Structure 1
């Protein structure tokens, strides 16, 4: 436990000592109607825009204007191989080998593409296990896969539920489910960081347990990528997907990432949907050749990449690269710890943090449950210049992001919350 202190001077001192504090200046911080910067705590929903993003996109617009189709090969950043500019930094952020990572499509589309390959139901083993409070799109996606394969989506779905009166999922319960139903479960698909509670699951433990029972394992890391050390390769997961518009700051609705473990890299027998961008790069433009599968995660691509969206991702990844992801994670742990400390020091019995208190079991998000509250509390916070995320029935999700949030942001948030609650 760090020796956090109360008071404005401590927050100012921590910002002065923070070697990453300058990165805040590299982002556009929204302002209220009086022209004051808001306290932006929703990087877990939509990350802020790096100031260099406009330049990165404009470069591609200029090449399009000046070169037309020749931009694919003659542009400053040739479009033909543009997705490759993202691979190494993205792989580093999610803890994977470059062979295992590709940026393509949108999040739930990638989840479906992965399930096409890895969900292989049989008459005996066809069920899918997810956490009970998974993000809705994950639940909808796996239910639709069950229906697509001719199974009942209620009978085929097994939910890993938190215990009565608790918010966090318990690993003993997961072990019990797999002991009882493991031979019926074809796939375990868990959100790497739960969107609601902020609980960061032990991916390696889950993957090992599921594999022991013969299940395929995938993770939706939408709330993990750019937030925590996922170590996807070492986790042993078969696949993972994530979006890039939350902690990875690539803009609303931007592209998704996909991970396929290297043990599957050269398995051409895996069922999959294909398109010409998963075909051998050397012969792709011969057009009439039979399909020749690319190895690794690139072999799941379908179409040529949307360059303008990729340019925005590249801008953000370049900020991550210069800041250093390990440094960001270290700051995140301290900044969120400070946030937790200040909330606990309020000594308000109406407030409960439902996110794990162990820093290794969470990222930067804290989910604050407020007794007898409704969305009016969220509206009051907004009026006070604080942008947070409200989740029914009574939870405020707050994420002090290490790239652009400061200790003063955290201090200001708690002071304003205290005033509103009083």
Structure 2
């Protein structure tokens, strides 16, 4: 396999009519006011801003880095509320948020390109969840029934011959696979650019600065302290991803979120063209609209090191070549790494911060940030605006720790 490694994939801002480094250089002073200040400009923060702005709520988003420069821009972009084999408890606990996220992505696919001119490359296409051993096959078959009960999806078990007839590139060592229709994927970087552009068109101010703390009047959050001044507001949303722990001292409560590193490679192959997502034991591969075969991922507890590594590359390649044949002459074009926010129990943290007023947190998506982010943003927006009181966020409250 040829190796042409690059740490960051080259995007073409001119072609997308958007510049990833164009976060506005707005003058902020100590008297600046807004309805809601959101700390964090990833998929969760921007989704929250988007839905708030639809309700004519003034919003400022603070982020020290450029658009899509972390996990929200470097994710794989798979969209499946049904998850993967072996994840039943985790999936069911967040299924309502995942369903909402999936629905919003379908809306985004129609609305965002029209509003911004940016193709987010959202596509519905099937997925194969491979099983190699008898044990993996039994586990997968046991889950077909409950997966198939979800509205909008077709789920069935396929024997090895059926799988290989469908996708000849798959390893002939498989036992079989779960075949799912109704799932989708999106290009996360383009999604972030489109969401940012849409937010700005609706009046959201995105400011390049680092938040340093919060101002309170008793238990009520009243401002965000940043490197460029204080932003006075009626509500604050902490959507800080893997950096959420930094806000623990602001609220005098520990936010148990740590970074989970993941790496993805993109290959150019003349022999392999996967027009459906192929997965196995948390690994995945598919050919995206850019013509490259995207494959991942790793789960590394290495702190805030987000640099691509030979370990990550080799780990992803090992899983990929176990799943897929014909990659001997493939060329490695891109190799990226990012940090996902993982809570101590693996579930999202969502809702009002305990013992405070007007202060909300939305984080802990783990590997499912692109799927869950829009749903978390909609829920947070609805709570702030009083649009709905039907959400039971008890399982996701920070007080559970």
By percentage of residues, which structure has more strand? 2
User: TM exceeds 0.5?
Assistant: no
Greater gyration radius: 1
Q: TM-score, normalised by structure 1?
A: 0.25
